[in-house]
């Protein structure tokens, strides 16, 4: 049995990208002597020729906005990620069967890149490398928190019961265990949700022509298809939205049939899409929790707010919250990190951004998937106007960069 303490200053439940970024960003609090534990059901990281790696981080892609890369640089992570990051130099937004489209160019936006595409594997390796140099942290892998219960002590308000029979108390407990958090349900947090009745099919695809750093967002009635430039010239990350009722039939078809359908829906913007890799899929829901803070307890990442992937802003929104929270925590004494007024101030600072991003992604999906002829015509006109309107393009570009 892993030797752990019974009391910690902070317990982070979930050792994914949000949990590890939070740990790294708490450097000032750690310097004050804060003790932290991270608990995750995955196997512990292993050392290979590429450095530390974990099964929690696969080859799927994550989009990092320019604002996110600036923050990752600030907390000492970006230099480890940048060698594996593909800059997004251009963006094309179009609609199947419609004339209008919008193209954004990084030079016109006066920036080096709109953002970057990086595999979760390389982000994970960077995070694990930085975390390996942090002291005063205990890692408990291959274990889950079965339950979280309220204590009668204000200084250690929550106790975590772990599957190995151990229990720990923490001044502050952070739930970074994803959008389908069972612990959040047990704690009776209430989400406002919208079920799109769709799934996101994700994979990596090989294309006939190099992407040259260009990202594509292609809309039709079944949902958006995104091709995001990866770290190899002819490799792109695919995010393909389709009806949940179509998934089983799609998965049972041959790769040849999958590619034929994809080429039909996406077109030949990068020539023939000639190879599709391993496929993963997940259900699409918009989920927002109005109550994200309790004395000594915080929801972070998808457990607080989960977006439709159409705008590629999910992890960027999580990093925005990580930054807002850790900046406040680092200014506190260890004894005051569960102080409710400070935590409520944090929630009030991130809530408007969460609302804006959720509404934007939701309205974007709803309008582009509409079969109403008037909506479709208006959509085509708006794309054409956006293409020719310098100020509107500038606003859209700043949104894409997370600024």
State the distance between the two ends of the chain, measured CA to CA, in whole angstroms: 46
Q: Tell me how many domains the chain contains.
A: 2
φ, ψ for residue 323, nearest 5 deg = -60, -50
User: 114 and 218: one domain?
Assistant: yes
User: 265 and 379: one domain?
Assistant: yes
Q: Which domain holds residue 110?
A: 79-119+197-284+374-400
Asked if the model's pLDDT at residue 312 lies above 80, the reply is: no
pLDDT reported for residue 309: 75
pLDDT reported for residue 310: 65
Beta strands in 41-144 (DSSP E): 46-48, 51-53, 61-65, 86-88, 90-95, 101-105, 115-119, 137-141
Structure-token pair, residue 227: 């091709």
User: 257 and 134: one domain?
Assistant: no
User: Among 236-240, 306-310, 374-378, which stretch is predicted with the lowest mean pLDDT?
Assistant: 374-378
| Domain-embedded: residue 68 | no
CB atoms within 10 A of CB 341: 8
pLDDT reported for residue 371: 53
User: 115 and 248: one domain?
Assistant: yes
Q: What is the band of 214 on the pLDDT scale with cuts at 50, 70, 90?
A: very high
User: 53 and 165: one domain?
Assistant: yes
Name, of 151-165, 259-273, 298-312, 318-332, the range with top average pLDDT.
318-332
Q: What is the band of 80 on the pLDDT scale with cuts at 50, 70, 90?
A: very high
User: 130 and 231: one domain?
Assistant: no
pLDDT in tens, 2-55: 567 899 999 999 999 999 999 999 999 999 999 999 999 999 999 887 788 888
Share of the chain above pLDDT 90, in %: 61
User: 141 and 154: one domain?
Assistant: yes
| Domain-embedded: residue 33 | yes
| Domain-embedded: residue 264 | yes
pLDDT in tens, 353-400: 999 888 877 777 766 555 554 444 444 444 444 444 444 444 444 545
Asked if the model's pLDDT at residue 242 lies above 80, the reply is: yes
Mean pLDDT of 91-102: 72
Share of the chain above pLDDT 70, in %: 87
pLDDT in tens, 55-78: 889 888 899 988 999 999 999 999
Is the torsion defined by CA of 192, 194, 199, 200 positive or negative?
A: negative
Q: What is the band of 251 on the pLDDT scale with cuts at 50, 70, 90?
A: very high
Whether the CB-CB separation of 223 and 266 falls below 8 Å is answered with: no
d(CA 54, CA 46): 7
pLDDT reported for residue 383: 44
Asked if the model's pLDDT at residue 329 lies above 60, the reply is: yes
CB atoms within 10 A of CB 97: 10
User: 94 and 212: one domain?
Assistant: yes
User: 133 and 115: one domain?
Assistant: no
| Domain-embedded: residue 228 | yes
| Domain-embedded: residue 28 | yes
Domain CATH for 232 = 3.30.9.10
Q: What is the band of 286 on the pLDDT scale with cuts at 50, 70, 90?
A: confident
Domain CATH for 30 = 3.50.50.60
pLDDT reported for residue 70: 94
| Domain-embedded: residue 325 | yes
d(CA 77, CA 66): 14
User: 319 and 226: one domain?
Assistant: no
pLDDT reported for residue 330: 97
| Domain-embedded: residue 278 | yes
| Domain-embedded: residue 71 | no
User: 172 and 210: one domain?
Assistant: no
d(CA 172, CA 156): 7
User: 308 and 211: one domain?
Assistant: no
């Amino acid at each position: 049995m892993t030797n752990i303490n019974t009391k910690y200053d902070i317990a982070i439940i979930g050792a994914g990208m949000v949990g590890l970024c939070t740990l790294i960003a708490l450097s000032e609090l750690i310097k004050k002597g804060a003790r932290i534990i991270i608990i995750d059901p995955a196997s512990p990281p292993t050392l290979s020729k590429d450095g530390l790696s974990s099964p929690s981080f696969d080859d799927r892609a994550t989009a990092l906005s320019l604002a996110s890369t600036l923050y990752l640089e600030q907390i000492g992570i970006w230099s480890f990620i940048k060698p594996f990051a593909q800059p997004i130099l251009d963006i094309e937004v179009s609609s199947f069967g419609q004339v209008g489209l919008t193209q954004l160019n990084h030079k016109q936006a006066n920036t080096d890149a709109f953002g970057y595409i990086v595999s979760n594997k390389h982000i994970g390796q960077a995070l694990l490398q930085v975390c390996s140099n942090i002291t005063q942290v205990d890692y408990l892998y291959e274990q889950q928190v079965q339950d979280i219960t309220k204590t009668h002590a204000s200084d250690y308000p929550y106790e975590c019961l772990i599957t190995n029979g151990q229990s720990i108390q923490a001044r502050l407990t952070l739930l970074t265990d994803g959008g389908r958090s069972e612990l959040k349900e047990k704690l009776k947090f209430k989400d406002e949700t919208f079920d799109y009745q769709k799934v996101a099919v994700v994979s990596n695809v090989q294309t006939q022509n190099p992407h040259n750093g260009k990202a594509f967002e292609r809309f039709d009635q079944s949902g958006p298809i995104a091709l995001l430039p990866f770290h190899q010239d002819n490799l792109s990350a695919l995010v393909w939205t389709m009806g949940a009722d179509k998934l089983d039939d799609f998965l049972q078809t041959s790769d040849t049939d999958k590619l034929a359908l994809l080429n039909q829906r996406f077109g030949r913007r990068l020539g023939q899409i000639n190879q599709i890799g391993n496929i993963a899929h997940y259900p699409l829901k918009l989920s927002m929790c109005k109550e994200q803070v309790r004395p000594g307890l915080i929801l972070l990442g998808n457990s607080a707010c989960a977006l439709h992937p159409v705008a590629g802003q999910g992890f960027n929104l999580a990093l925005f919250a990580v930054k807002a929270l850790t900046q406040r925590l680092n200014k506190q004494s260890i004894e005051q990190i569960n102080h409710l007024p400070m935590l409520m101030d944090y929630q009030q600072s991130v809530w408007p951004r969460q609302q804006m991003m959720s509404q934007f992604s939701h309205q974007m999906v709803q309008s582009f998937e509409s079969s109403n002829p008037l909506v479709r015509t208006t959509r085509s006109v708006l794309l054409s106007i956006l293409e020719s309107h310098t100020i509107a393009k500038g606003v859209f570009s700043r949104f894409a960069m997370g600024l």
